[in-house]
Amino acid sequence: MSDALPVIYTKNFQYNFGQIPEKDQKRIEYDLTHMNKQDVLRQGRFKGELNYLRKMNNGDFRIFLNYCADCYEEFRNDINCAICDPENLERIIVFFIYPRKKLYQPRKLQQMNITKIEF
């Protein structure tokens, strides 16, 4: 079994993560901190504009994340990630977490403002 990858959380994720029940927080944090490369690559990709992000369902929540090495190989010419470091690609970046039913409301993805991500 391979080692768990280091995880970086964006400010948006940390804010929304603090608003979900503590029971769910513990479960989600455990799952994220114990993910290895194979676990991340097993997660599906979004379609369309967000195709560089992977989606992870955890209970009633959808988590937007990325594996840096995967993103760097496929999308480095299309995306300017603020913390992209070719020397340190073995890590996971967790961008957003939302309740799934809230996420499917009309225009919710446009309101998330994917282009303004703070670490």
Within a domain: 106: no
Within a domain: 109: no
Number of H helices, E strands in the chain: 6, 5
Please name the residues in contact with 16: beta carbons below 8 A apart, sequence gap of 6 or more.
96, 97, 98
What digits encode the pLDDT tens for the residues 14-58? Answer: 999 999 999 999 999 999 999 999 999 999 998 888 888 999 999
Within a domain: 69: yes
CATH number at residue 11: 3.30.2310.20
Within a domain: 115: no
When pLDDT is cut at 50, 70 and 90, the band that residue 69 belongs to is confident
Mean pLDDT of 53-74: 90
Within a domain: 65: yes
DSSP labels, 61-100: EEEEEEEHHHHHHHHTTT---TT--TT----EEEEEEEEH
User: What's the pLDDT at 114?
Assistant: 55
Q: What percentage of the chain reaches a pLDDT higher than 90?
A: 50
Structure tokens at 13: 């994720």
What digits encode the pLDDT tens for the residues 95-107? Answer: 999 888 876 665 5
Count up the domains in the chain and report the number: 1
Highest mean pLDDT range out of 11-15, 74-78, 108-112? 11-15
User: What's the pLDDT at 16?
Assistant: 92
Within a domain: 29: yes
- Residue 17: domain span: 7-101
CB 100 within 8 A of CB 57: yes
Within a domain: 117: no
Within a domain: 54: yes
